[in-house]
């Protein structure tokens, strides 16, 4: 029988799913997320021990950043370092960061994996 776990706290969903995926060594914990009777809940499959999910929920801090959010912040910080610098004087790292920012804005980055999406999906 599936276990339904209501969630009564704020979530950083990217981080929350990253934590669930790590706890269960899976990649599809988003499939467990649902809304039942206006209540956000996890539906834990029959073949999985729900104890880890309870632990993830209890230890989750919505103000923490997921690894992809941390990486995006690092990219933004590096891109900001290019402000006021002549184009000919930009470092390779600054150029890459500026291109990454443009990709983010255009929807060209898969935020879950921090990889460039297929051009057919966003260009």
What is the domain partition of the chain in residue ranges? Answer: 3-59, 67-122
Using alpha carbons, select from 36, 42, 55, 29 the residue that is nearest to residue 3. 42
Mean pLDDT computed over 36-56: 89
* DSSP designation for 117: P
Q: Please state the pTM of the whole predicted model.
A: 0.59
Looking at the predicted structure, is the pLDDT value of residue 92 above 90?
A: yes
Residue 88 pLDDT: 96
Radius of gyration, CA atoms only, the chain: 19
Kindly report the backbone phi and psi dihedral angles of residue 45, in degrees, each rounded to the nearest multiple of 5, phi listed first: -60, 160
């Amino acid at each position: 029988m599936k276990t339904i776990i209501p969630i009564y706290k704020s979530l950083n969903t990217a981080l929350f799913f990253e934590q669930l995926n790590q706890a269960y060594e899976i990649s599809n914990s988003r499939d467990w997320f649902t809304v039942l009777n206006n209540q956000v809940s996890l539906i834990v499959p029959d073949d999985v021990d729900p104890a880890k999910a309870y632990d993830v929920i209890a230890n989750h801090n919505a103000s923490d950043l997921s690894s992809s959010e941390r990486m995006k912040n690092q990219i933004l910080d590096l891109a900001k370092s290019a402000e006021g610098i002549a184009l000919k004087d930009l470092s390779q790292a600054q150029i890459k960061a500026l291109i990454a920012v443009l990709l983010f804005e255009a929807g060209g980055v898969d935020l879950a994996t921090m990889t460039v999406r297929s051009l057919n999906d966003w260009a």
